[in-house]
Amino acid sequence: MNGSIWEGEFVTLSAGEVVMRDQMGARIIIKPEQLSAADQLYLEKVIPPRLSIDVSKTTDNTRSRANSESVRCLVSMKQTDNRPYTGKLTAVLVVMNEDIKTGSTSVENKKEYSFTLPEKRGEVVEFKGDRADFYRKSGNSSRSGKAYSGYILVIWDRFGNPIAIKSNRDSFAAEATKLARPERTKRING
């Protein structure tokens, strides 16, 4: 605090303030910005930002054939707590398909984004996934092809911890950290 060295035990982060206990057991409340850089890094590790996340799907059935569907997911998110969070985050968006004949699901495509949250709380960060094309084939009493099955979104902190998971299916959410693990990063504006 203010350049001085003070020793205490972290208790919690509440209403945007750090609650600590000093060596005598007294509670001390300070703003996160008053902590040293190392202590702020510790806060990032133990308390990730709270995020509000929305994933919507746009569908285009006019591209070519009547039995085709082109899908693209749009992710919108914003930080909902007031604590500054400057750490780099990576979002991994996975679009899943379903085999029409067998009902089995698999990854159709996967896109990664690396970003930081805006300084102004409540500002929205948006990004789009790649377009995924699905085709249904009919013939001689059998149907085959692939259909859109859903999405998985995992937000990872810079330490490799998943801090938010969103999916349209519980079965996908259970496998999210395996299917949506970061591989590469692509910088987005914002």
For residue 7 the two structure tokens come to 């020793």
Q: Which residues pair with 32 in a beta bridge?
A: none
Check pLDDT > 60 for residue 77: yes
N-term to C-term CA, the chain = 31
Backbone angles phi and psi of 161, in degrees to 5: -100, 135
Which positions ≥6 away from 78 have C-beta within 8 Å?
A: 51, 52, 121, 122, 123, 124, 125
What confidence score (pLDDT) does residue 186 get?
44
Check pLDDT > 80 for residue 15: no
State the chain's mean pLDDT as an integer. 85
Check pLDDT > 50 for residue 187: no
The predicted model scores a pTM of 0.76
For residue 45 the two structure tokens come to 């590790």
The dihedral formed by the CA atoms of 164, 168, 172 and 175, expressed in degrees to the nearest 10: 0
